[in-house]
Amino acid sequence: MPQEIPITGRGARRRSGGSLSRGVWLSLLALPVALACWLLLESIGFISTLVTYLYAVAAVWLFRRGCGGLISARGARVISAVVVAGVLVCIAAGAVWATATAYSAAPWTDVTSPLAASVSPAFWSWFGQTHIATGEVFRANAVTLLLGLLFAAAGILPVLLRTTGRRPLGPRSSIAISASLLVAAVAVVVVANQVPGGWSAPSTAADPLVVHVGDCMLDASSVTLTIVPCDQPHGAEAFAQVLLPGYPSPGYPDTTWFTAAAPPACTAAFAGFIGHPLEGSTLQLSEQLPGEQAWTAGDHTALCVASDPVAPIEASLAGAQR
């Protein structure tokens, strides 16, 4: 078997006691910290993919220390694989945590926190059916994956380009490449923000007006409305869109007017859709109202939502007669 000859670059010095395996083990120390930072940023609504840049920088720095300060061609491939795997772990954990948060908020579940949901067999069974089997989790995180890889490449490439290769690049060239990748990542952010639905697939959004008639939701009372297939366990269904009567004053209506205007129209639609009047029904009725911007733009409709506060709904409520 031919012996691999490490190729040094500027600033690469061999330290005694270094090895490839030691470098890998040290680089893995950066993953738990990156994972915790990812979940923290995601919980406060910040761009969590920024973590992958710092993770890549830290991982390759620890890898170099473990290898003795020199990275071979094989070492470059190994640390690149470690960083990519770490990015995938962060994205997967973020997707699971966000879904577990919505799941724990649903009125028909017996868990009260995302942590409890993440260790619940019922949650994983439901997650597999509604997010993995349908491909929803992959579609919703496609842009996140692209951003994560771009940020990670910007963090790891400058070091690899300076310390591997027979003609290693100088600091200016490697920094220019890193800056180009960061600019590309920012461009993805800008473009993603211009696409309806933003970062994720259209099935998950904080704005209730992106929900359409026929959509089934995990929990209609949650701040983030997670839409799931109606043949999978869910908590609510949008069944009608009704036109609200004309508001007598200019500007956006107040809560009192909405409370008086929306329920009667949805109550009538409820009886026609469910096949049972609201009075005496085991279901609950709620309305999703237009925001001020939508109202100003001419959207004077309310979305009528039926939900079951006790047990999960297994199919569409059309003609449920209950």
For the chain, give percent helix, strand, coil, nearest 5. 50, 10, 40
| Per-residue model confidence (pLDDT) at position 47 | 76
pLDDT at 183: 65
Tens of pLDDT, residues 201-217:
333 333 334 678 888 88
The whole-angstrom separation of Cα 84 and Cα 89 is: 9
Give percent of the chain above pLDDT 90: 8
**Is the per-residue pLDDT at 244 higher than 70?**
yes
**Between 178 and 62, residue with greater pLDDT:** 62
Q: What residue spans define the domains of the chain?
A: 20-194, 204-307
**Range with the lowest mean pLDDT among 6-15, 160-169, 222-231?**
6-15
**Mean pLDDT calculated for residue range 259-270:** 84
**If you count DSSP H runs as helices and E runs as strands, how many of each does the chain have, helices first?**
11, 6
Q: Is 4 a residue whose pLDDT tops 50?
A: no
The 10s digit of each residue's pLDDT in 147-181 is: 888 888 888 877 776 665 555 555 565 566 666 66
In percent, how much of the chain has pLDDT > 70?
A: 75
Closest CA relative to residue 276, chosen from 316, 318, 312, 236: 318
Q: What is the dihedral of CA 276, 280, 282, 284, to 10 degrees?
A: 80
Cβ atoms of 27 and 63 within 8 Å: the answer is yes
**Structure tokens belonging to residue 89:** 């772990």
Quote the pLDDT of residue 205. 32
The CA-based diameter of the chain, rounded to the nearest angstrom, is: 86
The bridge status of strand 301-307 relative to strand 216-217 is unpaired
Residue 247 has pLDDT above 60, yes or no: yes
Report the candidate in 151, 23, 156 with the shortest Cα–Cα distance to residue 91: 151
Q: What is the pLDDT of residues 104-134, one digit of tens each?
A: 776 666 777 888 888 888 888 877 876 787 7
pTM, full prediction:
0.60
- Is residue 146 within 8 A of residue 188, CB to CB? The reply is yes
